[in-house]
Amino acid sequence: MTIKDNDPDATSLEMLQLLEEMNSLRAQALEAKHQWESTFDSISDAVFLVDTENRISKHNKATEILLGKEASEIDGQLCFEVVHGTNAPIPLCPRQHIKEPTRRENFVIERNGRWIAMAVDPIFNQDQSITGAVHVLTDITERKQADEALKESEARYHRITEGLVDYHYTVHIKNGHTIGSSQSPACEVVTGYTPEEFAAEPYLWIRMVAPEDRDLVRERVQQVLAGKDIPPIEHRIYRKDGEMRWVCDTTILQKDASGTLLSYDGVIKDITERKEAEAEKAELVDQNRQLQKAQSLGRMAGAIAHHFNNKLQAVTGNLEMAMDDLAQGKNPATFLSLAMQAAHKAAEVSTQMLTYLGQTLSKHELIDLSQILQKSLPLLKAIMPKNVFLKTELPSPGPLIQANENQMQQILANLLTNAREAFAKQDGIIHLSVHTVSATEIPKDHRFPLDWQAQNQLYACLEIADSGCGISHADIEKIFDPFFSSKFTGRGLGLPVVLGIARAHGGVVTVVSESDKGSIFRVFLPIAGQEFLAQETCNSTSR
């Protein structure tokens, strides 16, 4: 700005403009100072300035809160008196070590039960000489406590793992690759190798695994490295002394917030004794099953011999009397008829045994299971005791199966007879139903035959439930043995025939029962496949 000579008005105007500019600059400076002070006070860490004589020249509000002092007790006071409570700088004071413009000193102190981290930066003038320092104090008490808690936790963890019989290991991962591992001292108890030996040979564990189980272990390692959670696995290892042991390996993955695998922990448990006990139990179960099978065969052979002996005696006895009648000129027709009846009964026993074995030849056709059972109900209801009520649930149309009609009626008759006899003289209800289920819905307990395997298809289910006397747990495994019966002497082919028919049709029978709580018998038969349905349609058209 230029002030013209001998022009009072112009000079006054320019002076006013100059004053306005100065006032504006002053206002801006005050605003900037206010903003700086507000920002300075809003900093959560304690920040204060120290001059060359170690006196505090400026501080923020956080300083008063952290040090627990009033402003008058801080500004103008010696730094070491305010911060450390000493009458001289402490030997390790960061302020005493700042010599270079780029150097920063850090220091941790304890004050009033709080841990404080102190960072000190020098303040330089234009000729690079130190004119003071900026101190930043951060309360790190919670972090220190967390660090101490972590150290104590790690120490406690090591004390625990050192006393365990099962051993713990940790494998560290970086970029999907193993970069190191550690083993607890118990590894020597299980494997015979020390933690130092494991550290010296990274692939020692794989070498210890039994050859037949190595593919399983390698696959597991690949799944773990891919970040997949997997269930525990059981496999065999060879100890350092050559002894084979069974172990169970349980793995827990450790990932960061983004899901990246950082490490995984594992626990190795020696389960050799359990495996040996399981093997012994399986052997005893097999021996018991063989014994029961032998008992069943003995019972079956005795019953067959008994049945045939009785029938053959009737046949031979009647034939002998028929021969006597012939010798006397009499008509032997009566004795021949009785001999024929006995022969037919013997043949019936043979047929039932062949049915149980699934060796009877029968024609299978496409039938509606509900419709076939409905046809048999009038006769079966007629022989039902008055104290037993039969309830039915037969959908129409019912599931289509490839089966023999007479044999399906035979299944129904035998199961209803078995249910009816469960009531003795007390009142009861028998519930007959048919529905369709998937293979996964077929129960696995008390399933006969024992070696039956479900196919991936639908099954028709014929279910008969009663509220009668039930079956004891011990007898459920025997009820399908020929001639086994807990009801009447001389009986015992009804349920074996049901099983034989189910077996011949690719089906299965399941039983749910308890003493005095009734029984549920279910017969599962494969639903007719599309190929069979198409074939039957074609045959019907051609006819």
Alpha-carbon distances of 411 from 216, 376, 500, 509, rounded to whole Å: 46, 11, 10, 11
For residue 409, the domain's CATH number is 3.30.565.10
Q: Are residues 514 and 396 in the same domain?
A: yes
Q: Which of 461, 279, 250 is nearest to 373 (CA)?
A: 461
Q: Are residues 110 and 196 in the same domain?
A: no
Supply the Cα-derived Rg of the chain in whole angstroms. Answer: 48
Can you tell me which residue has the tokens 């009566």?
A: 334
Half-sphere exposure of 362 (CA within 13 A, CB side): 20
**Axis crossing angle, helix 494-504 with helix 405-420, rounded to the nearest 10:** 150
How far, in Å, CA of 198 to CA of 336, rounded? 90
Q: Is 387 left (phi over 0), alpha (psi -120 to 50) or beta?
A: alpha
Tokens of 376: 């048999």
Q: Which of 468, 377, 457, 482 is nearest to 429 (CA)?
A: 468
Domain for residue 1, yes or no?
yes
| Number of Cβ within a 10 Å radius of residue 410 | 19
How far, in Å, CA of 236 to CA of 279, rounded? 15
Q: Are residues 373 and 474 in the same domain?
A: yes
For residue 232, the domain's CATH number is 3.30.450.20
Domain for residue 425, yes or no?
yes
CB 446 within 8 A of CB 511: yes
Q: Are residues 47 and 33 in the same domain?
A: no
CB proximity list for 369: less than 8 A, separation 6 or greater: 398, 399, 400, 401, 403, 408, 434, 460, 462, 525
- Residue ending a domain, among 95, 117, 139, is 139
What residue numbers bound the domain in which 509 lies? 365-534
| pLDDT at residue number 523 | 95
Q: Are residues 258 and 180 in the same domain?
A: yes
Domain for residue 321, yes or no?
yes
Distance in Å from the first CA to the final CA of the chain? 122
Q: Are residues 415 and 326 in the same domain?
A: no
Number of domains in the chain: 5
Q: Are residues 399 and 520 in the same domain?
A: yes
Task: State the 10-residue block means of pLDDT for the chain, 543 residues long.
Answer: 58 78 81 77 85 87 86 88 82 61 62 78 78 84 79 66 69 84 86 90 88 91 88 92 92 88 89 88 73 57 60 74 77 78 70 62 85 89 85 92 89 89 84 93 88 88 91 82 61 78 89 89 87 47 43
Q: Are residues 176 and 284 in the same domain?
A: no
The Cα diameter of the chain in Å comes to 183
User: Vertex 432, ends 426 and 433: CA angle to 5°?
Assistant: 155
Q: Are residues 175 and 304 in the same domain?
A: no
- Residue ending a domain, among 356, 389, 409, is 356
Q: Are residues 302 and 434 in the same domain?
A: no
- Residue ending a domain, among 325, 356, 387, is 356
Domain for residue 542, yes or no?
no
Task: Count Cβ atoms within 10 A of the Cβ of residue 173 and give its class: 0-12 exposed, 13-18 middle, 19 or more buried.
Answer: buried
Q: Are residues 154 and 172 in the same domain?
A: yes
How far, in Å, CA of 24 to CA of 348, rounded? 123
Q: Are residues 344 and 389 in the same domain?
A: no
Task: Count Cβ atoms within 10 A of the Cβ of residue 354 and give its class: 0-12 exposed, 13-18 middle, 19 or more buried.
Answer: middle
Domain for residue 541, yes or no?
no
Domain for residue 453, yes or no?
yes
Domain for residue 509, yes or no?
yes
CB 231 within 8 A of CB 207: no
Domain for residue 539, yes or no?
no
CB proximity list for 325: less than 8 A, separation 6 or greater: 331, 332, 335
CB 44 within 8 A of CB 139: no
